[in-house]
Structure 1
Amino acid sequence: MSPFEHTSLGSSGLPVDLDEAAHRCIVAGFDGATTVPDALKELVDRGLGGVILFTRNIRDAEQVRRLTDELRAIRPDLLVAIDNEGGGIGHLGATGAPEVPGSYALGVVDDPNLTAHCADALAAHLAGLGITASYAPVADLQHRPDNPIVRTRSFGADPETAARHLRAWITATEARGVASCAKHFPGHGGTVTDSHHGLAVDPRPYDALQADLEPFRAAVAAGVPMLMSAHVVFPALDPNRPATLSRRILGDLLRRDLGFEGVLVSDSLEMKAIADEYGSAAGARIALAAGADQVVIAVGDLDVTLDCRDAVLGALRTGVLAPERVGEAAGRVRRLAERYATPPATTPGPASMAGPAPVAGVASVAGPASVAGVGLEAARRAVRSRGVPPAVRGAHVVDLFPPPHSALNWGGEDLLNEMRAVDPTATGTAVTGECADPDALVEGIVRRCGAAPLVVATCDAGLHPWQVRLREALLDRRPDAVRVDTGLPEGGALQSYGRGRVNLRAVAEVLAGV
């Protein structure tokens, strides 16, 4: 007998308890920062499991705390989540969020205690804002130099290194009363496609995939309360469907083999890997049937979320989606909410480390972000250099980097600003895309630079040929220029392993000799 069989019917034509259970399986994004839209209020009233915040919802710390309070006033067991990876990838810059380097730099340093300090700083800030679910850390291994999406978000290519740092991150985050989420199961690092833009495939054989599972095994053993699935097809695991929609991967591999008992949340369903191949609404139904507990619809247009919700309710009415499966998923979400939905009044730091001061409210997190503190220490320790002059004062800095990824919302920080902070005599040029007349650009840079030292920084130039062409043209004119890599290492004399603000400040300090 279904547990929903004898309850009264709601507006969906389903038992009220089943309608609520279906809503618990949804995480919604929304437009607007200062007020909660009426359509979202209705969803929350009916049991919505969570909301995910983005930069579009953020103005300052006080506003965010008012927003999270307003949401919980509608339903106290609502989970409020955000992507908060560090390394400039996040949405809370306007709230004075602490600056920490990305995961790759932390893996280079390979000090799990330092990683725990960084994770603690981020989690304390979230708790002070009333955000108690963080879709981080990234557990993907960075295998391929042509992978377009994992890169410095990963702790590296070595599964043991990644496992050490995942354990540190998860433990520190848990100590702040914030739910962490290891992603993207079973790994996005072996692909050459960004699943935001298309269906990604990892063609490696079964044995080669085992290393990628080790960080996730470590996360499960560390008690991670959430995992996020990848919109990636693994022919060796399931040739027909991406992991998000695969019973074999979510059920047999994750639940049975890895023994994960927490909440499995999908990556965003409006990403083209799902939306273009299946449709977001069908993706929601299939993902829940396959074993997901929550599906994320991150786009601000709530009509997309309502379409996904209606597809799930329709599948329940017709029997395509089993009520028992939805009840199981909703039960996991309820247990997660019991632990994390209400932010603690105070959040003691981890007993094993001297973390930041406890965060009790908005006052402690408001104000401009600072590059001081544990994040800058970590970034400094990550910098690697060879053949760099003791001080490159008064340099002309050419910073080449791609435009920020729309979903990750990296803030577009540039090296020139950080150089000027430590050397006001520095000048420079920031270039964020291919220009119409590169020869004229090179000529202008060389002319403006004159006899001053030249610094040429690139970010993942191997993925962006325009950077390679500009860099080589500048080096032909100025072979004495100092090469800097601000993404993955590509032969530069100075390597930061990330473009977070503290990464760039640490590089600037080395260049300026301070």
Structure 2
Amino acid sequence: MTHAERPSAAAATLPVDLDEAAHRCLVAGFDGTTAVPHPLKRLIDRGLGGVILFTRNVRDAEQVRRLTDELRSIRPDLLVAIDNEGGGTGHLVRADAPEVPDSYALGVADDPALTARCADALAGHLATLGITASYAPVADLQHEPRNPIVRTRSFGADPVLAARHLRAWIDATDARGVASCAKHFPGHGGTVTDSHHGIAVDARPYDRLLVDLAPFRAAIDAGVPMLMSAHVVFPALDANRPATLSRRILGDLLRLELGFEGVLVSDALEMKAIADAYGEAAGARIALAAGADQVIVAVPDLEVTLACRDAVLDALHSGALPEERVREAAGRVRRLAERYATPRRMTAPWDADAGLEAARRAVRTRALPAPVRGAHVVDLFPAPHPALDRRGEDLLTELRAFDPEATGTALSAEPTDEAALVEGIARTGAPLVVATSDAGLHPWQARLRDTLAARRPDALLVDTGLPEGGALCSYRRGKVNLRAVAEVLAGA
């Protein structure tokens, strides 16, 4: 007998409506592209609030439509969600997703109408697939140079700039009948740890944290229907628990001081900041008690989701989790579903070229170098982040679309024989382009770039992450970002 078929003692004694309310507070990931797993069907039958899709659930656009239709045939008010920030973060490439740059490039271009066109394209595409909740945009401010996780996902470091682009994104998404979600409250941009991998701490004093709250205030004022919490400890706000588990941050700060009345959803509980320190099941119980309305369990192993569910039911049964707290949370989720669960499949066309226009405008905000033809491109970048990055985009491929004579070397890890590599590259007679991606976080990239630049002072340096002094910057490695740089390199 599987976990799904072993109801806890608490589940057997709770009122049916309270059991349903508890299930509404869960968002589950799962495996597969066609059939809905039986344990997931049982969860949906009992009131599951939402599912979150990933690349593992996507084969092509028509398949996604069939899958979302099947999910809603089980329960029409199920919210179907996905991370859909654009740029390098995208799970819908195989479903013909519109190409838009990361938010940082939109901030550099600084045209809210253009940001709205990009957000509209993403949301219009989601609606045609039957996906009506988007865990975007990122409202974090990127102001810590060593931050490993926010970076170009942010609109920038300026809270006023971020606020105007957040408003544009939220309004455009809502106009398509898709729920947006500003994340990660109260801000992940001041940390030097990725909460996917461990406990992240922002030790700044309270007065310095206020700037990070400003974009979230703007998102709330714009009517954002969802916020996502950060798995970050803020000693100035609550020294004992990360924001996702903190009543002081979720209750006192977000609900009482900022007046947010929408759905507060946790970041994924299997992230190590929660899973290693508390465990997913305890994390679910504590997050709901602290003020979250939904908790995400994104891993495809439904046993983890079921363990979280049972922890919530047991806490309700024992009184450790107040019944009124769960009913309040479920009520918010129910109202969200009433507004967004049903997709608008018949949608007006979106601007498929908005993303490339934005990427071009971001690249061209600085003085441009002269074109290089027949260049040798050394493209250095870290291995893709498993939760965020696509795989396969590279600068050489984009450049060869305009300059077939271009050659290159791509590395996503430190070379085994750096001296031999440098010698071979330095001796090439072709113009040399050296691209790095956040080399300040990856010393092997910085060392290799600097060594090549010393051997070849004529080398053209390109940044494919945040700006680090290169002649060109793409503001991340999304397809349109790299294409916009390639056009400049080739003089296209």
TM-score range, shorter chain: over 0.9
Select the residue among 348, 358, 361 that pairs with 1:378. Answer: 358
Residues 1:131 and 2:100 aligned together: no
Select the residue among 493, 497, 508 that pairs with 2:475. Answer: 497
8 Å CA contact 1:404, 1:412 repeated in 2? no
Residues 1:65 and 2:43 aligned together: no
Query: 1:385 & 1:491 partners in 2: Cα distance?
Result: 14
| Equivalence for 2:297 | 297
Equivalent position amino acid for 1:455 in 2: V
8 Å CA contact 2:178, 2:340 repeated in 1? yes
Query: 1:116 & 1:410 partners in 2: Cα distance?
Result: 23
| Equivalence for 1:401 | 381
1:389 Cα deviation after fit = 4.0
1:191 Cα deviation after fit = 0.3
TM-score norm. by structure 2 comes to 0.96
8 Å CA contact 2:11, 2:314 repeated in 1? no
| Equivalence for 2:372 | 392
Query: 2:52 & 2:115 partners in 1: Cα distance?
Result: 25
1:409 Cα deviation after fit = 3.2
| Equivalence for 1:418 | 398
Select the residue among 422, 425, 429 that pairs with 1:445. Answer: 425
Deviations, residues 79-131 of structure 1 (Å, cap 9, x unaligned): 00000001121100001100000000000111000000000000000000000
1:303 Cα deviation after fit = 0.7
Equivalent position amino acid for 1:456 in 2: V
1:441 Cα deviation after fit = 1.8
User: Secondary structure at 1:164's aligned position in 2?
Assistant: helix
Deviations, residues 19-78 of structure 1 (Å, cap 9, x unaligned): 000000000001111211111111111100000000011100011000000000000000
| Equivalence for 1:467 | 445
1:347 Cα deviation after fit = 3.0
Residues 1:479 and 2:434 aligned together: no
Select the residue among 463, 466, 473 that pairs with 1:488. Answer: 466
Equivalent position amino acid for 1:426 in 2: A
8 Å CA contact 1:84, 1:135 repeated in 2? yes
| Equivalence for 1:90 | 90
8 Å CA contact 1:270, 1:297 repeated in 2? yes
User: Secondary structure at 1:456's aligned position in 2?
Assistant: strand
After TM superposition, list the pairs within 5 Å mapping 1:3-14 onto structure 2: 11-14=11-14
Equivalent position amino acid for 2:358 in 1: A
Equivalent position amino acid for 1:295 in 2: V
Query: 2:420 & 2:39 partners in 1: Cα distance?
Result: 52
8 Å CA contact 1:487, 1:497 repeated in 2? yes
1:475 Cα deviation after fit = 1.0
Equivalent position amino acid for 1:118 in 2: C
8 Å CA contact 2:129, 2:345 repeated in 1? no
8 Å CA contact 1:454, 1:482 repeated in 2? yes
Residues 1:81 and 2:81 aligned together: yes
8 Å CA contact 2:26, 2:48 repeated in 1? yes
| Alignment gaps of 5+ in structure 2 | 1-8
Identity rate, percent: 79
Query: 1:74 & 1:182 partners in 2: Cα distance?
Result: 29
| Equivalence for 2:261 | 261
| Equivalence for 1:509 | 487
After TM superposition, list the pairs within 5 Å mapping 1:91-170 onto structure 2: 91-170=91-170
Residues 404-413 or 308-317, more deviating? 404-413
1:385 Cα deviation after fit = 7.2
Equivalent position amino acid for 2:442 in 1: H
8 Å CA contact 1:132, 1:341 repeated in 2? yes
User: Secondary structure at 2:51's aligned position in 1?
Assistant: strand
Query: 1:415 & 1:37 partners in 2: Cα distance?
Result: 39
| Equivalence for 2:3 | none
Select the residue among 410, 430, 434 that pairs with 1:456. Answer: 434
Aligned length: 484
1:13 Cα deviation after fit = 2.2
Query: 1:225 & 1:11 partners in 2: Cα distance?
Result: 30
Deviations, residues 253-282 of structure 1 (Å, cap 9, x unaligned): 000111100000000000000000111100
User: Secondary structure at 2:13's aligned position in 1?
Assistant: coil
Deviations, residues 350-403 of structure 1 (Å, cap 9, x unaligned): xxxxx54xxxxxxxxxxxxxxx61111000000147675422011011110011
| Equivalence for 1:228 | 228
Equivalent position amino acid for 2:359 in 1: A
1:424 Cα deviation after fit = 1.1
User: Secondary structure at 1:422's aligned position in 2?
Assistant: coil
| Residue 65 to residue 412, structure 1, CA distance change in 2 (3 Å) | same
| Equivalence for 2:320 | 320
1:410 Cα deviation after fit = 2.6
Query: 1:477 & 1:385 partners in 2: Cα distance?
Result: 29
Residues 470-479 or 265-274, more deviating? 470-479
Residues 1:246 and 2:246 aligned together: yes
Deviations, residues 400-451 of structure 1 (Å, cap 9, x unaligned): 001111011333411011001111111111100112211122223234xx21
| Equivalence for 2:5 | none
| Equivalence for 1:363 | none
User: Secondary structure at 1:212's aligned position in 2?
Assistant: helix
